[in-house]
């Protein structure tokens, strides 16, 4: 929508310039100027609404995250009470004991390994590129030396 308004504004300015250059009557110029002012106000209002919407989205996301955290905390406290554990630490330790968090740790390990593999690949590429450039330099130098020696032989 913002692009359409910008395009409308540009077209309006083009028409305005054309009308001003061709000296239309005063009433036409006044109406066109009023139209430009209205268009500018619309454009400013749309920008303001976009900013307000982005702010509301941010606030809503924060609220959802807090609500989710509250819900999880309440749920865990209730589980601790139902299972009759002494505190949350005992509950978390029980979850570790039954292997509840192992999948998360495996995923973290896999992600870490992928990061290491990517770094290795980058270094290998750089090494190959360096070797290739070195070979090209050597070939170029050998050609220059051959040319120099053939010129020296011909002199």
Tell whether the model's pLDDT for residue 40 goes beyond 70.
yes
**Ramachandran area for residue 87 (φ above 0: left; ψ -120 to 50: alpha; else beta):** beta
Q: How far from chain centre, in Å, is Cα 31? A: 44
- Kindly state the average pLDDT of the residues 67-86: 76
Q: What residue spans define the domains of the chain? A: 1-55
pLDDT band for 39, please (50, 70, 90 cuts): confident
Q: Which residue has the higher pLDDT, 143 or 37?
A: 37
pLDDT at 35: 79
| DSSP code string of 88-152 | HHHHHHHHHHTTTTHHHHHHHHHHHHHHHHHHHHHHHHHHHHHHHHHHHHHHHHHHHHHHHHHHH
Rounded to two decimals, what is the model's pTM?
0.37
pLDDT band for 107, please (50, 70, 90 cuts): low
């Amino acid at each position: 929508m913002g692009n359409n308004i910008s395009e409308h504004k540009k077209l309006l300015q083009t028409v305005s310039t054309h009308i001003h250059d061709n000296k239309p009557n005063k009433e036409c110029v006044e109406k066109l100027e009023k139209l430009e002012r209205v268009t500018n106000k619309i454009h400013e209002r749309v920008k303001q609404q976009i900013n307000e919407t982005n702010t509301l989205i941010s606030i809503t996301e924060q609220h959802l995250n807090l609500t989710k955290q509250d819900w999880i905390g309440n749920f865990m406290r209730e589980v601790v009470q139902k299972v009759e554990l002494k505190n949350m630490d005992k509950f978390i330790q029980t979850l570790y004991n039954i292997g509840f968090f192992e999948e998360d740790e495996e995923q973290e390990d896999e992600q870490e390994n992928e990061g290491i593999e990517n770094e290795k690949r980058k270094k290998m590429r750089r090494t190959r590129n360096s070797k290739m450039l070195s070979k090209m330099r050597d070939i170029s130098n050998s050609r220059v030396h051959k040319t120099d020696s053939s010129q020296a032989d011909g002199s």
